[in-house]
Structure 1
Amino acid sequence: MTLLDAIEDDPYLPSTSIPTTRLDDQATTSETSAGTSNEEIVLAKRPRQISLFSVTLPLDAISLIMEFFDMIPIPMLDGVVMHAPFRNTVDGTLCISSHHLILSSRKEGVEELWMLHRNIDLVERRPNGLSGGSIVIKCKDFRVIQLDINSPEEFVQVAACIENLASIEDVRLFYPFFYRHMSPILEDGWTAFTPETEYAHLVNSLADEWKISYVNKDFGVSTSIY
């Protein structure tokens, strides 16, 4: 199964429920009662592989989500060619999701691209007249990826979309707040280790000279020091 084939199990869309008007075929409307502090909105991806996800969001987050989906005019585009140093050229389908840039040829054994928008440092446009153009993506991990698009209109839209998604500053729209783990939680990580136990191992013979203080446990003394 390729990445694009697994998109309907999208782990990077919020498990959210939000009623919105149809946003360029990306969302479907769901009725909610007036006067409530939360609204239920159903977010969906475009045709081909549509899956509905639901989460309850506060009212002040609804406008953010609507703006978020407005940034993706073309969620999927066929016939995109990817070039990268020391890699084979890949001709496949480009998928732009809320937090990831994905390119897949839908063929077994062919390398695919799955990259967070936050990993993009610079987007360079190289238009080629009526033949579309190339989008050069320079990543924060020093990778350089080139995407060739053969339609001038789609070239401009995809480039603008990637630029906007890579420059989102509102932390509430970052990937960690949308991630849904796909496997069961095996243990409670909050109890995996305790500061007191680890501290005792560190200080060892100096335990009488140092101690853990809880004076700021409610951040009443300082808001920046734990």
Structure 2
Amino acid sequence: PKALDFNPNNENIYATNGPGNVSVIDSSTNTVVDTIPVGDNPFALLFNPNNNNIYVANRDSGDVSVIDSSTNTVVDTIPVGSTPTTIEFNPNNSKIYVANRDSGDVTVINTSSPVILKPVADAGPDRSVESNDTIQLDGSKSSDPNGSLLTYFWTQTSGPVVNLDDPTLEKPTFTVPQSTEDASLTFQLIVSNEKVISDPNYVTFSKSNTSNNTNSSNTPIR
């Protein structure tokens, strides 16, 4: 471990490890209770008593990981300069100062601003379909931990090309092409809360060429 700090709120010690993670040590038992993946070569860290977060300067990836110590999860990654090696907190202005060795500068992080968490896209479960079925994509289980409204961006990534009626809807529809061949159609969903976008999530619809593939009712599958 290159650095460690103590959180008096949960009485845990946070220690950086070279491979790219932070160990959480229960100081009452001196045992590791969690391991948190962070950036490349975490070199310095500190506890911010104002927001209960741990800030980890990752030397080789040039960023700072923000850990919510109430859940021991990374809630933000902040780009800084090249090779950050020192990190300090000023309680008078709630700012963190990161010294970047190779770029020869200091990054100032305003910790009084709330952390904006990524929304989570959910494109729904994979399904089996038949030719001429009208399919309704469903992103309604996507969520935003900040409580913000979401916007939707659907994209077809594989399979016979189809037309979505509106790729910005929560539940757009399309018609499965008529075909005698087995096929799979995959769609990507990304959601945004107007500040940050989610990681992509995917759903695949599989069509098999069977003798009873005669459904042409155009009834939406929900």
| TM-score by shorter chain over 0.5 | no
- Greater fraction of residues in strand: 2
Coarse TM-score class (shorter-chain normalised)? under 0.3
TM-score (norm 1): 0.23
- Greater fraction of residues in helix: 1
* Structure with larger RCO (C-alpha < 8 A, sep 6+): 1
